[in-house]
Amino acid sequence: MKSICFYFQIHQPFRLKRYRFFNIGNDHYYFDDYSNEDIMQQIAARSYIPANRMLLDLINQYKGKFKVAFSISGVALDQMEVYAPEVIEGLRELSKTGDVEFLTETYAHSLSSLFDPEEFHNQVKQHSERIEMLFDQKPTVLRNTELIYSDEIADMVYKMGYKKMITEGAKHVLGWKSPNYVYQSASQPQLKLLLKNSKFSDDIAYKFSDYSWNEYPLTAEKFMSWIASTPPEEKVFNLFMNYEVLGNLQPSHSGIFEFMKALPRFAFEKGIGFSTPSEIMDSHKPIGAIQVPETISWSDEERDVSAWLGNRLQKSALKSLYEIGERVRLCTVRQLKQDWIYLQSSDHFYYMSTKHFGIGNSNFSPYMSPYDAFNNYMNVLSDFIGRIKAQYPDTVDNEELNALLTTIHNQDMEIKRLEQELKKVIGTNEELLVEKLSRKKADKI
C-alpha cells in the first residue's frame, strides 16, 4: 500500500530592530517586538489557526486514517506563547488525537550543526524537552534546520541517540534512485532516512496557484492520480513543506484548504494511506544507503547551503558568532543565553544572501539589501560580544575556558551524585522512623 507522509515546518525568527553603530554599548535589547508580534498574529490568523482546525476535522472525520507531522522551532514556540497562544492550544488538540507526530530540531532553527557540534547537541536536547513538555510527546525523529544533512551530521545525530531522520531527496545525491523509499545513512547504517519528494511537495507548496503552470488548476483527484500511477514498488511519498503554505503562501482564496480537505477521500479511493515519519520508518526496511559527503538542504535548485554560506558577509558573520560559543556556555546570565539562541536563527544569514537579492525570495527579508542586513546584524553582534567578554574577557584563553567547563561539568556531576545519596539517606531515615513508630504502637498494645 502506498503511503503519504505529510510533514509541516513551523518557524518564525525573532527579527532584529534597526540597530545602529551608536547603539553599541548603550542598548542591549535587539529585537523588533512590533514586527514580530504583527507578523506572528497575521500568519496565525491566515494560516496556523484555520489549518489546525482543518487538520483536526480531517483526523476526526477519518478516525485515525489521516495523519501528519510537525517540526516547530523553539523560537517560533517562544513567540506563539506570547503573541498567539491559541496556535499552541490548537497543536495540543492535534497531539491528543494520537495521529500527529512532533519532530525535534535545533531550538534556534540554527546552523550549529555546521559550526559547533556541542551547541547542536544542546539545542536538539533543549528542543526535545520543550516539545515533550508542551505536547506530551518525546520526539524520536530528528529534522535538522532547513533539512541540512551530510554524513558528518549523520554521525552526530546517531551519537545523540537518534535512529530516524528526515532530509532532502537531492537529485545530485540520489542520481537515478527514487526518493519514494526508506534509506539508511552510509556513515551510520542504523540511522534510517526519509527523503523529501521535491516534485510532489513543490507542486503544492509553490505551483498550486500559479496560473502559468501547465497543470493548473491542481485538483485533489489529479494529484492522487499522479501518486497512484507511480511504479507499484514505490510505497513512500514524503511531502515536506512550510505550514504557511496553508493559507499564507497559498492564500485561502486559491482553494488550498478545499484541496487539502479533498485529498484524503481521493487517496483512500485509490488505496493510498497516510502515515507519520515514525510509522513509515518502523514499518519499512531501508533499500540502500545514501552517501552525502557534501552538505545538502532543501533550499534552491542547488539543494546546498549556499543560501546561508554563499558569500563573505555570511561566512564572516557566522564565524564571529560561533567563535564565542564556549564563552556563552560558561555564562549563567539568562538574558545573554536567550539572546544567544535568538541570534543564531538561520534567517539572519539568509537575509545576507546575494543569491536572492532582487528576486522573489528577497521579499521575505525586512532589509533593503543584503549589505543592510549584514551591517545591522554585525552591530547587534558587536554589542552582544562585548557583553559576553565583560563576563569572560579575551585574557581567558581557550585552554582556560575548557578547564573551566570541565570543572563546572565535574561539579554538576558531583552535585547530582550527592543529591542521589541524600535521597537514599532521607528514604532510609523515613523507613527507620516508620518502623520505630510501628514498634512503639505494638508495645502499647
**By three-state DSSP, how is residue 177 classified?**
coil
Q: For 146, list phi and psi in degrees, rounded to 5.
A: 55, 25
The secondary element (H helix, E strand) that includes residue 431 is helix 398-444
What is the bridge-based pairing of β-strands 182-185 and 192-196?
antiparallel
Question: Cell match 492520480: residue?
Answer: 225
* CB 397, CB 37: distance < 8 Å: no
* CB 168, CB 188: distance < 8 Å: no
Q: Give the integer Cα–Cα distance in Å for 312 and 301.
A: 21
Q: Which residues are catalytic?
A: 146
* CB 149, CB 296: distance < 8 Å: yes
Note the helical H segments in 136-276: 151-159, 171-174, 198-205, 220-228, 256-269
Question: Cell match 540554527: residue?
Answer: 110
Q: Give the integer Cα–Cα distance in Å for 323 and 337.
A: 15
* CB 260, CB 309: distance < 8 Å: no
Cα-Cα end-to-end distance for the chain: 73
Q: Give the integer Cα–Cα distance in Å for 99 and 360.
A: 35
